[in-house]
Structure 1
Amino acid sequence: MVIAEKPSVARDLAKVLGATKKTKNYIEGDKVIITWALGHLLGLKMPEDYNKDWAEWNMNTLPMIPKRVGIKPLPKTRPQLKAISQLANRKDVSEAIIATDAGREGELVARWILQYVKFKKPVKRLWISSQTDKAIKQGFKQLRPSKEYDNLYYSAVARAEADWLVGLNVTRALTVKYKDSLSAGRVQTPTLAMVRQQEEVIEKFKPETYFTLDAEYDGVVGHLELKNPRQFKKREDLETLVTSFDGKSLVVDDIKVKEKTEHAPLPYDLTEIQREANQRYQFSAKKTLSIIQRLYEIHKVVTYPRTDSKHLTTDMKSTMKERLIAVTQMSPELVKRLVKDGAVVKQQNVFQNAKVTDHHGLIPTEQSARLEKLDNDEMKIYRMIVERFLGLFLPPYKVSVETISTKVEQSIFIFKQQRVLEMGWRQSENVAKQSVVFKKRMAIKAIYKINKQLTTPPNPLSEGTLLGKMEKHNLGTPATRAEIIEKLISSDLIERQTHRLVVTAKGKQLLQLVNPSLVTPELTQKWELSLEKIANGQLKHQSFIKDIEKETTRLVKEIKMSEEKYVDHSLTNKTCPDCGSQLKEKNTRDGKIYVCSSETCHYKRRKDPKISNKRCPQCKKKMMILENKNGAYFKCGGCQYTEKMQKGSKGKKKISKHEEKKLIKKYNQTEEMESPLALALKAAMKEE
Structure 2
Amino acid sequence: MMAQNKILVIAEKPSVGRDIGRVLKCSKKLNGALEGNQYIVTWALGHLVTLSDPERYDNKYKEWRMTDLPMIPDKMHLEVIRETSKQYQAVKALIQRGDVQEIVIATDAGREGELVARWILSKAGNQKPTKRLWISSVTDKAIRDGFANLKQGKDYDNLYYAAVSRAEADWLVGMNATRALTCKYNAQLSCGRVQTPTLAMIAKREEEIRNFKPQAFYGIKLCAGKNSGKTDSMTFTWQDRKSKSSRSFEKSKIENYIKDCTGKRAIVEKVDKSFKKKEAPLLYDLTELQRDANKLYNFSAKETLTIMQRLYENHKIVTYPRTDSRYLTTDMTDTLKERLRACGTGPYQKLAAVLYRGNIKAKASFVNNQKVTDHHAIIPTEQFVQLDHLTNEERKVYDLIVRRFMAVLYPPFEYEQTTVTLTIGEYAFIAKGRVIKNPGWKMVYESQSMEEDDSMALQKLTEVKEGEQLEVYSIQITEGKTAPPAPFNEATLLSAMENPVAYLENKNKEDIKTLGETGGLGTVATRADIIEKLFHTFLLEKRGKDIFITSKAKQLLELVPDDLKKPEMTADWERKLSGIASGKLKRTIFMEEIKDYTKEIIDEIKTGDGKFRHENLTSHKCPNCGKRLLLVKGKNSTMHVCQDRECGYRETISKLSNARCPKCHKKMELKGKGDAQVFICSCGYKEKLNSFKERRKNEGAGVSKKDVHHYMNQMKKEEEKGTTAFADALSKLKL
TM bracket, shorter-chain basis: 0.7 to 0.9
When residues 83 and 354 of structure 1 are mapped into structure 2, their CA distance, relative to the original with a 3 A threshold, is closer
Deviation at 1:99, TM superposition (A): 4.9
Deviation at 1:190, TM superposition (A): 0.6
Counterpart among 461, 472, 476 of residue 499 in structure 2: 472
When residues 622 and 364 of structure 1 are mapped into structure 2, their CA distance, relative to the original with a 3 A threshold, is closer
Structure 1 partner of 2:219:
212
Counterpart among 147, 153, 159 of residue 160 in structure 2: 153
Q: Which range moves more in the overlay, 468-477 or 499-508? A: 468-477
Deviation at 1:281, TM superposition (A): 1.8
Q: Which range moves more in the overlay, 428-437 or 535-544? A: 428-437
1:342 is paired with a residue of what secondary structure? coil
Deviation at 1:273, TM superposition (A): 2.0
Counterpart among 379, 384, 389 of residue 373 in structure 1: 389
Deviation at 1:436, TM superposition (A): 0.7
Structure 1, residues 143-191: CA drift from partner, whole Å, max 9, x if none? 6554454444333322211210110111111111111111100111111
Structure 2 partner of 1:187:
194
C-alpha separation in 1, matches of 2:33 and 2:334: 36
Structure 2 partner of 1:221:
235
Identity of aligned residues (%): 43
C-alpha separation in 2, matches of 1:575 and 1:189: 31
Residues 130 and 302, structure 1, Cα contact 8 Å, conserved in 2? no
1:634 is paired with a residue of what secondary structure? helix
2:399 is paired with a residue of what secondary structure? helix
Counterpart among 331, 341, 361 of residue 348 in structure 2: 331
Q: Residues 217-616 of structure 1: matches in 2 within 5 Å?
A: 217=224, 218-226=232-240, 227=243, 229-234=246-251, 238=254, 241-329=257-345, 331-345=348-362, 347-427=363-443, 435-446=461-472, 447-473=474-500, 474-535=520-581, 539-586=585-632, 591-598=637-644, 600-601=646-647, 603-607=649-653
What TM-score does the superposition give when structure 2 sets the normalisation length? Answer: 0.76
Structure 1, residues 346-370: CA drift from partner, whole Å, max 9, x if none? x324333322222222233333323
Deviation at 1:116, TM superposition (A): 1.1
Deviation at 1:476, TM superposition (A): 1.5
Residues 130 and 365, structure 1, Cα contact 8 Å, conserved in 2? no
Structure 1, residues 486-505: CA drift from partner, whole Å, max 9, x if none? 12111211123322211111
Structure 1 partner of 2:718:
none
Tell me, yes or no, if structure 1 residue 65 matches structure 2 residue 99. no
Structure 2 partner of 1:681:
none
C-alpha separation in 2, matches of 1:386 and 1:4: 27
When residues 139 and 364 of structure 1 are mapped into structure 2, their CA distance, relative to the original with a 3 A threshold, is farther
Residues 115 and 164, structure 2, Cα contact 8 Å, conserved in 1? yes
Counterpart among 676, 690, 693 of residue 635 in structure 1: 676
Deviation at 1:342, TM superposition (A): 2.6
Structure 1, residues 66-122: CA drift from partner, whole Å, max 9, x if none? 121111223454454344433333323333444555554444333222211112223
Letter in 2 for 1:224: W
When residues 309 and 457 of structure 1 are mapped into structure 2, their CA distance, relative to the original with a 3 A threshold, is same
When residues 145 and 270 of structure 1 are mapped into structure 2, their CA distance, relative to the original with a 3 A threshold, is farther
Tell me, yes or no, if structure 1 residue 164 matches structure 2 residue 168. no
C-alpha separation in 1, matches of 2:349 and 2:73: 61
When residues 424 and 83 of structure 1 are mapped into structure 2, their CA distance, relative to the original with a 3 A threshold, is closer
Structure 1, residues 638-666: CA drift from partner, whole Å, max 9, x if none? 899999xxxxxxxxxxx979759x999xx
Q: Which range moves more in the overlay, 128-137 or 156-165? A: 128-137
Letter in 2 for 1:448: I
2:675 is paired with a residue of what secondary structure? strand
1:348 is paired with a residue of what secondary structure? coil
Structure 1, residues 419-464: CA drift from partner, whole Å, max 9, x if none? 2333333335689775311222222122113323122222111111
1:221 is paired with a residue of what secondary structure? strand
When residues 216 and 539 of structure 1 are mapped into structure 2, their CA distance, relative to the original with a 3 A threshold, is farther
C-alpha separation in 2, matches of 1:401 and 1:610: 48
Structure 2 partner of 1:652:
none
What RMSD, in angstroms, separates the aligned Cα atoms of the two structures?
3.9
Residues 130 and 304, structure 1, Cα contact 8 Å, conserved in 2? no
Residues 324 and 343, structure 1, Cα contact 8 Å, conserved in 2? no
Deviation at 1:220, TM superposition (A): 2.0
Residues 19 and 33, structure 1, Cα contact 8 Å, conserved in 2? no
Letter in 1 for 2:675: F
Structure 2 partner of 1:115:
122
Letter in 2 for 1:281: Y
What TM-score does the superposition give when structure 1 sets the normalisation length? Answer: 0.81
Letter in 2 for 1:344: K
Structure 1, residues 31-59: CA drift from partner, whole Å, max 9, x if none? 65555545433221222222344443222
Deviation at 1:518, TM superposition (A): 1.6
Residues 638 and 655, structure 2, Cα contact 8 Å, conserved in 1? no
When residues 276 and 145 of structure 1 are mapped into structure 2, their CA distance, relative to the original with a 3 A threshold, is farther
C-alpha separation in 2, matches of 1:442 and 1:365: 57
Q: Which runs of 5+ in 2 are unaligned?
A: 1-7, 225-231, 448-455, 501-519, 660-667, 679-685, 692-700, 711-735
Letter in 2 for 1:251: I
When residues 408 and 423 of structure 1 are mapped into structure 2, their CA distance, relative to the original with a 3 A threshold, is same
When residues 598 and 380 of structure 1 are mapped into structure 2, their CA distance, relative to the original with a 3 A threshold, is closer
When residues 602 and 169 of structure 1 are mapped into structure 2, their CA distance, relative to the original with a 3 A threshold, is closer
Counterpart among 198, 202, 208 of residue 209 in structure 2: 202
Letter in 2 for 1:223: T
Letter in 1 for 2:348: S
C-alpha separation in 1, matches of 2:402 and 2:47: 32
Deviation at 1:343, TM superposition (A): 1.6
Q: Residues 616-627 of structure 1: matches in 2 within 5 Å?
A: 626=673
Letter in 2 for 1:202: I
When residues 585 and 102 of structure 1 are mapped into structure 2, their CA distance, relative to the original with a 3 A threshold, is farther
Structure 1 partner of 2:512:
none
Letter in 1 for 2:611: K
Letter in 2 for 1:442: E
C-alpha separation in 2, matches of 1:641 and 1:352: 56
Structure 2 partner of 1:686:
none
Q: Which range moves more in the overlay, 155-164 or 322-331? A: 322-331
Deviation at 1:284, TM superposition (A): 1.6
Residues 223 and 235, structure 2, Cα contact 8 Å, conserved in 1? yes
Structure 1 partner of 2:51:
44
Deviation at 1:550, TM superposition (A): 2.4
Residues 251 and 443, structure 1, Cα contact 8 Å, conserved in 2? yes
Q: Which range moves more in the overlay, 521-530 or 93-102? A: 93-102
